[in-house]
Structure 1
Amino acid sequence: MSKDMVVILTALNLEYQAVRAKLASPQGHLHERGTRFEVGTVLGTSCRVALGLTNKGNHSAAVIAERAIQEFSPAAVLFVGVAGALWDTARLGDVVVATHVYAYHGGTSEDDGLKARPRVWEAAHGISQLGSHLARVNDWADETPVRGRAPQVRFGAIAAGEVVQNSKISAQARWIRQHYNDALAIEMEAAGVAQAGHLNGAPVAIIRGISDRADGTKSSAKDRSWQPRAAANAAAFATRLAVELVREQEHSPMSQAGRALASDGRTAGVTNMAHNSTVGIMAGVVKESSVHVQGGPGAAGPADLVAELDDLRRHLTFHHAEGALDDDTHREALAELETARRAARENNSESSRKATMALKRLRGLVAEVPELVARLRPLVVAAGDLS
């Protein structure tokens, strides 16, 4: 994972330009399949941002988000842009940060009507907590308030569909009101990005500036005047969030321990503070109540990682037999595990990236099985340390 890198994606050029204006010296970065990104730093900081354009729609957004995660292994993915407000809960120019995302077009058509079968993705807890803190501090907006009112940050559900919603009285509007009445905003890309983040184990935040009320006024003069303001507000909050995310990564206890270990090359000690409980940890030496982890190069080589991956295969098979993993998930999980295993055996920087991303995708596949997620955490770290 690149602890100093955040990916920011947008669907529209107007949104892209609003984010780009916040970056210093953006440089082009070409993906091998032709997707273009720009990489720069947030003005006045060391936070790196890889900026990309997905175009409209959940499907396109999912593909580009997946590609960006694979290419950059970012600390987080932020999807930034404009959206329509629902039920007059957010004012024009306000910023809505998704606590969860509805893919609201899921359903089944039956004799007595259309029944909702939505998919839902919750925002990463750490990002939600940090976003709430920044909203309370309320020093992120850098523009003169319009008509004397500063934009506010609101937290709630965002509904993501496949059509432009521009009516309050259509059948679609009534459907959304009936099944998703807690949604604050509506748009067309969040579900795709959330799914890509989920499958790759990458934290995702959806940040939207309110440019219209989804009430028939899209493309009006008022909407055209509010779009750039809403996009700028979303970009301002998103880049501030990106800076703080990177700062937290760099100052996390694990990062500090890693830096201390790298600086002096000695063994790092981890003290066991648990009482009357069992602690499981991969360690070199255990002495009384202290656990000493072997440090330095070669502490956990590719052979060790391959052995751990082979052991993980046994646990995947067990949970599949117990019914915790369905057949499709089990098959996909084994494929990702084999990809990681092959990459670990190659033991170079490129294979390290491949192994890490395969294990992150695997973690997304088994996210509902806590024991497997816990087993994967140290393996993702170990894969990232291969060289």
Structure 2
Amino acid sequence: MSRDLVVILTALNLEYQAVRRRLAGPQVHRHERGTRFEVGTVQGTSCRVALGLTNKGNHSAAVIAERAIQEFSPVAVLFVGVAGALWDTARLGDVVMATHVYAYHGGTSEDDGLKARPRVWEAEHGISQLGSHLARVNDWADDLPARGRAPQVRFGAIAAGEVVQNSRISAEAQWIRQHYNDALAIEMEAAGVAQAGHLNGAPVAIIRGISDRADGTKTSAKDRDGQPRAAANAAAFAARLAAELVAEQEQIAMSHIDGVPTADGFKKYVSNTAHNSTVGIMAGSVKESSVHVYADAKVMGPADLVAELDGFREQLKRHHVAGALDDDTYQEALADLGSAHGAAQEATPESSKRATMALKRLRGLIAEVPELVAGLAPLVVAAGEL
């Protein structure tokens, strides 16, 4: 993971420019398949941002989001732009940060009508907590005219579909009202980005400025007024969130260098040299903890890595049997491990990259099991060195 970089994606050029204005020194970064990003730094911070344009729709957003995750291994992916408000719950110019995302077009058509088949992705807990904190601090917005109203940040569901919604009485509007009535806003990309983040183990935040009410009053003339303000507010909050996410990663990294206070008031220190590592624990005791030490680690060849992956499969099985991994997580973990296993056997530069990405996805799946994460860490490194 790149501890100082956050990916920010937008669907419209208007939204892209709103984010780009907050970056210092943006430089073009071209993906091997032609997708262009610009990498710059949030002004006044050490946070790097890889900015990309997805165009409209959940499908294209999912493809570009996954491409960005594999290219940059970011701290998080933020999708930033404008949206329509639902049920008058947010005012024009306000910012909505998704607590969860609905893909509202799923369903099955039967003789007695259309039945909903909802899909939903919840926001990562840490990002939600940080977003709530920044909303409480409330110092993220740009300076406003004396008579202007400061935008507010609201938290709730966002509905993502494949059409521009501009009616309160259409069949689409009634469908959303019936099945997704807790949604605060509606747009066309969040579900694709959320799924890409889920499949790749990358935290995702959806941040939308309210530009219209999706109620039949949306017009091109009103968009020319409402969209720039909404996009600017979303970009301001996203830039602050990105900077705070990177600052948290820096604090975590420093804690491993400077020592972390334990519950008993002692500190654990770790120092590393190029060829060996020394670990010292200054404490009366270590309770309910596991210490994993990798000293004089050798470079694994393809056969070594394949053997280690076979052993890791047994670790996954043991934790599944013990209840640490549920059935769905276990099956997805096995699939990612199988992909890495097959790529390691090929032993080519391209397969090395595939193995690394599969193991990074696996790391996201098992993030709640520290023992497995620690055991996987040297395998990720070895895959990258094949």
Question: Is the TM-score greater than 0.5?
Answer: yes
Is the contact made by 2:359 and 2:380 (CA closer than 8 Å) also made in structure 1? no
More displaced 10-residue stretch of structure 1: 22-31 or 141-150: 141-150
CA distance in 2, matches of 1:166, 1:300: 60
Is the contact made by 2:94 and 2:209 (CA closer than 8 Å) also made in structure 1? yes
CA distance in 2, matches of 1:96, 1:273: 46
The normalised TM-score by structure 1 is: 0.84
Provide the residue aligned with 1:158 in structure 2.
Answer: 158
Structure 1 residue 340 displacement after superposition: 6.0
TM alignment of 1:1-387, pairs within 5 A:
1-144=1-144, 147-252=147-252, 254-257=253-256, 261-262=271-272, 266-269=277-280, 275=287, 279-282=289-292, 293-295=293-295, 298-299=296-297, 301-302=299-300, 306-314=306-314, 324-325=327-328, 329=332, 332-339=335-342, 341-342=344-345, 354-363=354-363, 367=365, 374=370, 376-386=372-382, 387=385
- 1:182-206 deviation per Cα after TM superposition (whole angstroms, max 9, x unaligned): 1100001001001110111001000
CA distance in 1, matches of 2:132, 2:330: 39
Is the contact made by 1:356 and 1:380 (CA closer than 8 Å) also made in structure 2? no
Distance 1:23 1:326, change over 3 A: closer
Is the contact made by 1:83 and 1:208 (CA closer than 8 Å) also made in structure 2? yes
Is the contact made by 1:200 and 1:363 (CA closer than 8 Å) also made in structure 2? no
Is the contact made by 1:355 and 1:383 (CA closer than 8 Å) also made in structure 2? no
Is the contact made by 2:7 and 2:49 (CA closer than 8 Å) also made in structure 1? yes
Provide the residue aligned with 1:287 in structure 2.
Answer: none
CA distance in 2, matches of 1:36, 1:272: 54
Aligned residue pairs, count: 364
Structure 1 residue 58 displacement after superposition: 0.4
SS in 2 for 1:181: coil
- 1:56-92 deviation per Cα after TM superposition (whole angstroms, max 9, x unaligned): 0000000000000010011110000000000000000
CA distance in 1, matches of 2:3, 2:308: 25
Structure 1 residue 257 displacement after superposition: 1.6
SS in 2 for 1:75: coil
CA distance in 2, matches of 1:326, 1:140: 37
SS in 1 for 2:64: helix
CA distance in 2, matches of 1:119, 1:146: 43
Distance 1:268 1:317, change over 3 A: closer
The normalised TM-score by structure 2 is: 0.84
Structure 1 residue 294 displacement after superposition: 4.3
CA distance in 2, matches of 1:255, 1:5: 17
**Which amino acid letter does the alignment assign opposite residue 92 of structure 1?**
L
**Which amino acid letter does the alignment assign opposite residue 314 of structure 1?**
E
Distance 1:141 1:384, change over 3 A: farther
Aligned-residue CA RMSD (Å)? 3.1
Structure 2 portions without partners, runs of 5+? 259-269
CA distance in 2, matches of 1:247, 1:361: 23
Structure 1 residue 385 displacement after superposition: 4.0
- 1:159-208 deviation per Cα after TM superposition (whole angstroms, max 9, x unaligned): 11111111111111011011111110000100100111011100100000
Structure 1 residue 106 displacement after superposition: 1.0
Is the contact made by 2:10 and 2:79 (CA closer than 8 Å) also made in structure 1? yes
Provide the residue aligned with 1:285 in structure 2.
Answer: none
Structure 1 residue 281 displacement after superposition: 4.6
CA distance in 2, matches of 1:47, 1:235: 15
Distance 1:239 1:327, change over 3 A: closer
Is the contact made by 1:54 and 1:61 (CA closer than 8 Å) also made in structure 2? yes
